[in-house]
Structure 1
Amino acid sequence: MDITYDPAKNDKNIADRGLSFELVCGFEWASALVVEDTRQVYAETRYQALGKIDGRLHMVVFTVRGESLRIISLRKANAREVARYEKA
């Protein structure tokens, strides 16, 4: 599956969090915890995925567009998210 993203949003994520959306290529989808993001009404269905990149748990927010995953956000998982992942 292709990974796409807005280059300007990626630049902002790098500046704010030190993480490039390119890292999602190494995301361990097979062991990820994926749920629909229902916190708000969005124009398209969004998902939150907790999974590992290089052994560290991360949160990826994305949407599916055709055959591609469109990355919206990437950050290191917080303590609450780590606990949720470990409990699942």
Structure 2
Amino acid sequence: MSYLNFQWDLNKAETNRRKHGVTFHEAQSVFYDEFARIIPDPDSSFGEERFIILGVSEEYNTLVVCHCYRGEDEKIRIISARKAEKRERKQYEDCRYA
């Protein structure tokens, strides 16, 4: 497993945990899911290019994680994370088991 470099705002991480029940520590594990899908998120890209990753976490939750890449070393900055809705889980499963 390769090492990825993550960052996030601590206040935003706590707000996200309270609102969605997902920690950013759990969210970062989705990036190690070999079946995860990354898609551009142009609707949320204001001044920076943002992406959505859909994958399974180390806690076996299917998550949707909004993120961007920062700096020359392209740190992965987690912006938000939530459990996938039913249609999103189906989309992930359809791609994984196709």
TM-score for both structures, normalised by structure 2: 0.80
Give the Å deviation of 1:17. Answer: 1.5
Gaps of 5+ in 1: none
Which structure 2 residues correspond to residues 57-68 of structure 1 after superposition, within 5 A? 57-66=62-71, 67=73, 68=75
Gaps of 5+ in 2: none
Task: Say if 1:3 and 1:41 are closer, same or farther in 2 by CA, change over 3 A.
Answer: closer
* 3-state SS in 2 of match to 1:39: helix
- CA deviation string 1:50-87 (max 9, x = no partner): 00012221111100113310000111000111121122
Moved more, 37-46 or 58-67: 37-46
Q: 2-side partners of 1:77 and 1:8: how far apart?
A: 22
How many residue pairs get matched?
Answer: 88
Contact 2:8–2:77 under 8 Å retained in 1: yes
Residue 32 (structure 2) pairs with residue 24 (structure 1)? no
Runs in 1 of length 4+ with deviation above 6 angstroms? none
Q: RMSD in angstroms over aligned alpha carbons?
A: 1.5
Identity %: 28
Give the Å deviation of 1:15. Answer: 1.3
Q: 2-side partners of 1:62 and 1:41: how far apart?
A: 10
TM-score for both structures, normalised by structure 1: 0.88
Q: 2-side partners of 1:56 and 1:75: how far apart?
A: 10
* 3-state SS in 2 of match to 1:31: coil
